[in-house]
Structure 1
C-alpha cells in the first residue's frame, strides 16, 4: 500500500522524482526495516513489523500519518523517530536512486580493500553518517545520512544536521578522494488529529567530485562494500564464521594472505547450511535464516510445522537470505562476475521479494512459502 509525503529536493535539477509529493510503499519500508535492523549492530528486534499498524487506516495513496504520536516521553520519540527515519530513508534510496548495497559505519577508519588502500576516512569529529552505499552494477558510490523528527516547523533543521553528518567522511583509494554522492534525508512525521499534521520528506543531494583513480583500482571500494553488506546481513542470521571470513578479505595487505583468506572463506561457504525455497524456480540456494517479530531464529531448526505455526501466531516469519553464488563471487573479488550475477533477471512472485543485491525476503507459512535446509 502506497503512502505519500510532502516532498522537497535540493538541488531540483538532480531530483529523481520531481513533484510536490513522493510515494513509498509501506511494504517496501518494512522490507528496508528488516534489512536495516539485521545489518545494524545491536538487537535485531522486529520494529519493522509494526509500521503498517501504526498508520492511519486511510487507504492507498494517502498521506503517511501516524495514528498517535510516537510515544509521550522525549527519549522514546527520539529513538523511534531515528529508527523509522532510517527505514523510510533506506526505502527511498532503494526505490528512487536504485541503491541496493549498504554498509554501516561505526569506526574512525574502515578498510574496504587494504591491499589497494581503499578506505573510509574520517574528516571531522562527531557521529558518522549512516551508510555508504552503491548500485548493483557497482556504480554511484553514495554517502547517506537519515534523520527523523517531530519539529512543528518542518524538517529543515533535521536536514541540516544530516547534511553536516554526511560530510564527515571521504572514500579514498591510495590517498585520492573518490567521487561520491552525498545524500541527506530528513523525515518529519505527521500525526492524525494532532500536531504536526503533515508528513514531510526532504532530501539534499549534490555530487562531490573526487580525484582521478587508476582504472585498476576503481572497483576496489565497491567489492569491499559488497563484502561488508553481505557480512552484516548474514551474521545475525547464524552465519558469524562466514561473515568474519568476508570481513577478513577487506583487511589483507599482501597477495598470499589474501589468497589464503579467500580459500578459507570459500571453505566456510561450502559448509554453510543453505535454504531452499519451495515452489520457486528463480531462487537458488540462499544463505540466511528466519526472522520473526522477536528477531532471528538462530538456535533451532524451524520445521515446516514450526514455520506454519509462527505465521498462524502472527509472528510475521520471513526468510532473509543472500544468493550463495553472489557470495562466492564477492569472495573471489571479480567485479565483472559480480555485475553479471546481479544483472540476471529474477521473477518475483506474489510473496518472494528480491532486493537487487542478491538478497531475498520471503514470507513463510501456509499458503506462502516454506524453507527447507540442504
Structure 2
C-alpha cells in the first residue's frame, strides 16, 4: 500500500522526486525495518511488523498518518519515533537514492580495511550518524542520519540535529578524506487525533568533496562496507561465527594473518546451512534465518509445518537471507564479481522481495516455504 509524505529537499534542484510529495510503499518501509532491526545491536524485536496497523485506515495513496500518538510517555514517543524514523529514511534511501548496502556506525573508529588504512574516522564528540551506505554497483558512498519527531512547528529542528550528526565522521584512505554524499533526513509524524495533522519528510543533501584515492583503496572501501553489511545482517540469524570472521577481515592489518582469516571465513561459509525457496528456482541458495514478530528464530532447522504454524498464529514469519555466492565474493574481495552479481537483473517473484544487495525477504506460510540441508 502506497502512502505519501509532504516532501522538502535541500538543495531543491537535486531532489530525486518532482512535486510537493513523495510516496513510499508501507511494505518497503516494513522490509527496511526488518533489515534495520537485525543490523542494529539491541533492537532485535518485531516493531517493523506492527507499522501498517498503526496507520489511519484511509487507504492507498493517502498520507502516512498514524491513528494516534506513538504512546503517552515521552520516553516511549522518543524511542518509537526514532526507530520508525530510521525505517522510513532507509526505505526512502533505498528507493530514491538507489542505496542498498548499509553499515551501521557505533564506535570511535571503524575499519573498512585496516591493512590499507581505509576507515571511518570520528571528527567530533557526540552520537555518530546512523549509516555509511552505497549502491549495489559499489558507488555513491553516502553518510546518512535519520530523525523522527513530533514537533508541532515542523521538522526543521530535527533536520538541523540530523545534519550536525551526519558531519561527525569522515571516511579516509591512507589519511586522505574521501568524497561522500552527506544526507540528513527528518520525518515529522502526522496524527489523525491529538497531534500534528500533516506528515513531513525533509532532506538535506550536499556532496562533501574529498581527495582522489587509487582504485585498490576504493575497492577495499566498498568491499569492507559490504562485509560489514552482511555480517551485521546474518549475526542475529544464527551465523555469529561467520559474521565474526567477516568482521575480522576488515580489522586484520597483517597480510599473512589475513590469509588465515580468509581460510577460516571460507570454511565457515562452506559449513553454513544453505536454504532454498520453494517454487522459486530463480533464487539461489541463501544463508540466513527466520524472523517473526517476536524476533529471530535461531534454531537451525524449522520444518515446513512449523513455518505454516507460525503464519497461522499471525507471527508474520519471514525468511531473511543473503545469496551464498555473494558472501563468497565478499570474502574473496572480488569487486568485479560483486558488481556483476548485484547489477544483474533479478527476475521478479510473486512473494520473495529482493533488496539489490544479494538479500531476500520471503514471507512464509501456505504459499511459500524454505527448505534445505543444515
2:313 corresponds to 1:313: yes
Q: Structure 1: how far apart are the matches of 2:96 and 2:239? A: 31
Displacement after TM superposition at 1:135 (Å): 0.2
2:302 paired residue number:
302
Displacement after TM superposition at 1:254 (Å): 2.2
2:364 corresponds to 1:361: no
2:117 corresponds to 1:117: yes
Displacement after TM superposition at 1:255 (Å): 1.7
2:30 paired residue number:
30
TM-score, structure 2 as length reference: 0.99
Equivalent residues of 2:132, 2:144 under 8 A apart: yes
Equivalent residues of 1:181, 1:206 under 8 A apart: yes
Local SS of the residue matching 1:115: helix
1:145 paired residue number:
145
Which segments of 5 or more consecutive residues in structure 1 lack a partner in the other structure? Answer: none
2:226 corresponds to 1:226: yes
2:238 paired residue number:
238
Q: Structure 2: how far apart are the matches of 1:318 and 1:77? A: 27
Equivalent residues of 1:330, 1:338 under 8 A apart: yes
1:193 paired residue number:
193
Local SS of the residue matching 2:216: coil
Within 5 Å, give how 1:121-136 maps onto structure 2: 121-136=121-136
Displacement after TM superposition at 1:300 (Å): 5.4
Q: 1:48-102 CA distances to partner (integer Å, 9 max, x unpaired)?
A: 0000000011111000000010001110000000000000000000000000000
What value does the CA root-mean-square deviation take over the aligned residues?
A: 0.8
Local SS of the residue matching 1:120: strand
2:268 corresponds to 1:268: yes
Equivalent residues of 1:12, 1:18 under 8 A apart: no
Q: Structure 2: how far apart are the matches of 1:149 and 1:240? A: 34
Equivalent residues of 2:68, 2:195 under 8 A apart: no
- Structure 1 range deviating more: 211-220 or 229-238: 211-220
Displacement after TM superposition at 1:14 (Å): 1.3
Q: Structure 1: how far apart are the matches of 2:18 and 2:156? A: 19
2:98 paired residue number:
98
Q: 1:289-346 CA distances to partner (integer Å, 9 max, x unpaired)?
A: 0000000000352111100010011100000000000000000001111101111221
Q: 1:33-52 CA distances to partner (integer Å, 9 max, x unpaired)?
A: 00000000014100000000
Displacement after TM superposition at 1:265 (Å): 0.4
Runs of 4+ in 1 over 3 A off after TM superposition: none
Q: Structure 2: how far apart are the matches of 1:291 and 1:121? A: 33
Within 5 Å, give how 1:207-218 maps onto structure 2: 207-218=207-218
Q: Say if 1:108 and 1:24 are closer, same or farther in 2 by CA, change over 3 A.
A: same
Q: Structure 2: how far apart are the matches of 1:300 and 1:287? A: 11
Q: 1:269-295 CA distances to partner (integer Å, 9 max, x unpaired)?
A: 000001111010111100000000000
Local SS of the residue matching 2:116: coil
Local SS of the residue matching 1:229: helix
Equivalent residues of 2:238, 2:300 under 8 A apart: no
1:370 paired residue number:
369
1:161 paired residue number:
161
Within 5 Å, give how 1:252-291 maps onto structure 2: 252-291=252-291
User: How many residues are treated as equivalent by the alignment?
Assistant: 373
1:81 paired residue number:
81
- Structure 1 range deviating more: 215-224 or 105-114: 215-224
Equivalent residues of 1:105, 1:130 under 8 A apart: yes
